[in-house]
Structure 1
Amino acid sequence: MSSPLAHTWPEHLSVGAVRFARPTARFEAVRAFYRDDLGLPVLAEWRDHADYDGVVLGLPGSPVHMELTQHGDPPRIPAPHPENQLVLYLADQAAHDRAVAQLRSRGHRPVPAANPYWPDRGATLFQDPDGWHVVLAPWIFGRDQPPVVTDGSP
């Protein structure tokens, strides 16, 4: 089986970077969660640009970004859903354990996964202040075979 990461972009779609965006109703708390608690670097930030506040967070050395924006008074966002997730595939179990320890040290506690796929493979889920899930997986998709947890706990 070939690696899913071995594929290339179609000739007509020459993508150089990818940014995922979502709204927030708790801009300061969500920005602090991703920047300070999780540790994603801020690539750009703005206030009151056409009535929007926003922050772009990135992965060092990667053209993948997450944009969070707040707009409106009061801001309106869709209800969180357990399958709408930010999945961070970490280098190995030690990297996973460090990330989990960091979030725990900042007062965050793991939350149950709706899909048993994640805990069955040793991943840990947390909620951001808006209620969206962040999955910390102890393997890299497309490079590693996901572990299988046999005792029912990560």
Structure 2
Amino acid sequence: MSTSATPATNNPILKSHLRITRPTNSISSVLPFYTDGLGFQIIGSFEKHAGFDGIMLGHPKLSYHLEFTAQEGHDAGRAPTQDNLLVFYLPEVEEWKDAVGRMEKAGFEAVKSWNPYWDAHGKGRTFEDVDGYRIVFWNEPWGT
């Protein structure tokens, strides 16, 4: 793995907005996990675009958003492993508790993490959506 001590300040990737996209068999079934549980907003959608429907979730001030697509006649299947994760670093304990509580209030129960690191020391909670993809709320800042 090659790493550089000096970041490329003229690299446009470092200033770009990131869209994370994945397929699902049912956009309406996956929505409650990300809207009610995570609190994302619907920021865009489309229907019947070359056989695809899609919805974008996020918040206007975030530098990323999630997109879920469904293709007519295609079985998207489930997550390939239980270690397909989005990890949210929430260093403030009250904010972490609020995030966990929001998921639970929306009807989602924490699951045992595939990688035991995320369950270590009571700092992580893992939740799984209807397609088997998971998110982790981690109660530490990034980089610790």
- Band of TM-score, shorter chain: 0.7 to 0.9
The residue number in structure 2 matching 1:138 is 139
The residue number in structure 2 matching 1:45 is 45
CA contact (8 A) 1:110 1:127 kept: yes
Secondary structure, counterpart of 2:132 in structure 1? coil
Amino acid aligned to 2:81: H
Secondary structure, counterpart of 2:22 in structure 1? strand
C-alpha distance in 2 between matches for 1:91 and 1:60: 22
The residue number in structure 2 matching 1:14 is 12
Instruction: Give runs of aligned pairs for residues 1-80 of structure 1, distance below 5 A.
Output: 8-9=7-8, 11=10, 13-15=11-13, 16-59=16-59, 61-77=61-77, 79-80=79-80
Give the deviation of 1:7 after TM superposition: 6.9
How many residues align structurally? 137
**Superposition TM-score, scaled by structure 1 size:** 0.78
Q: Alpha carbons of 1:51 and 1:14: their partners in 2 closer, same or farther (altered >3 Å)?
A: same
The residue number in structure 2 matching 1:129 is 130
CA contact (8 A) 1:85 1:133 kept: yes
CA contact (8 A) 1:31 1:55 kept: no
**Superposition TM-score, scaled by structure 2 size:** 0.83
C-alpha distance in 2 between matches for 1:71 and 1:105: 31
Secondary structure, counterpart of 1:25 in structure 2? coil
C-alpha distance in 2 between matches for 1:18 and 1:7: 22
Q: Structure 1: which 5+ runs fail to align?
A: 1-5, 146-154
The residue number in structure 2 matching 1:148 is none
Percent identity, aligned pairs only, is 31
Give the deviation of 1:91 after TM superposition: 4.0
